[in-house]
Structure 1
Amino acid sequence: MNAITTMPATVELFDGTVTLTDWALTELSPDFYGHSYMQIGGWLPEGYQPGLISQGTNHMVRADLPGIADVAQAVNVTVETKGYGGSRRFMKIQWRHRSAPAELGEMLGCSAMGCRFGEWSSKAEERGWVRHGSGWLCVQCADAAEERAEIVARIDAGTWGAPALSYRAQQLLAHIQDDPGTRWQTGRAEQVYADLGYPKRGRRHNARGDLNELAARGLLVPHGPADGRYFLLAQPKDGA
């Protein structure tokens, strides 16, 4: 609907009545949530200042639009007035026209304490929302919950607060993971570092230290006596 007429329209708002010329009644495109809005837009009389008419949220008592009988009455509206360089000002009055389409489902609220995000049930999963117990978590809260779970797991494993593995130790771990059934001793780890081009000086010391660090982090399991110790790749606790 986009009705335009030169006959003046009269709109009674909560705090005053305005007359609009060259006005149009328009049905706006649905917003992100599927709500449709109607808008009356027209020119105020030359030199007219809104004065007591509240901008933003207001209440439309009635609207007398020549030739249109089914205009909403007694509805909350949003009022916006703009000047375009001349002595006349243009006023827009908008209100919600229709509810969201049924196919959008119900409006969900994030179940995280203090979060006020909402989403339609039909769109929640595709927009990254995650089921949490009997409720839902929005994208931001779901990410935060996952991060907290990881921190708790690291605390339980005794690795929270430990410095990150060196790149050298990460390289060694990658080789061990590629050959999970092999017994790893200092000499084998030292050979890996030699193949990777690490200098001979300190290579054996680093190999021994990195094996022990990987074991301390629960990534390797030590076996055998102190003078014949070897390490095997740790298996997941669930046996997977």
Structure 2
Amino acid sequence: MTENHVAGMEASAVSVLRRAVELDQSGRFQEALVCYQEGIQLLIDVLKVVKDESKRGHYREKIKGYMDRAEQVKAQVNHMKEDGKYHEQIRISEDATGYSYEVLFKPYISGALTEVWVQDPYIRHTHQLYNFLRFCEMLLKASCKVKKIHLLTSQDETDSSQQSSALAELRESLSSQGVALDLQYSSTIHDREIRFDNGWIIKIGRGLDYFKRAKGRFSVGYCDYDLRQCQETTVDIFHTKHTKTL
């Protein structure tokens, strides 16, 4: 492995760990944990290929320091979860990027996750239906074994045929992946929230529809939501020992 390659790995580790510290200091502990774990693993990968003993000692010291802090954060999160007092808030600013569903939900997805409840009155129009599809795809790709997704939304009063056919197609497609889609409609719901059966509750002011329209079908961000500009919104994350169904 070349020195440039090692330097690149180290730079990646520094970047991720710097982000971990920023999240830690701002009280976004669950997100910080994910970054600490990724950054520590990158430093371990660097340690495996570095030959200079003085550098190896430096990396070992750094790894230990970050591991100690990660354990403290993990213990703090677990304590708050046990007390039912866990609450994080993320403010997404106007035109911000880097908030794809993978980024936003990854810290709260675990191997214990098997069932998801989505309450969002606006899964009706084409772009909103695609948002829900992308959310489902994110769950399928994540390190969990989701078996059932519940969707509670409102029916399109002007033309429900597109909404019905799109969700029917998605239900069939998810079924082929071993995931059941439970669909219910309500004309009175207004609140938006997503519940995981591992205890996490995520409330997004705009629901899943917090992305701006892409400037064109061949513009950056059309396919990759990490590069898509967002509308201003607030995300509140809670943890409860027992997740109730919607």
Question: With structure 1 as the length reference, what TM-score do the two structures score?
Answer: 0.23
Structure (1/2) with the larger strand percentage: 1
Structure with greater contact order relative to length (CA < 8 Å, sep ≥ 6): 2
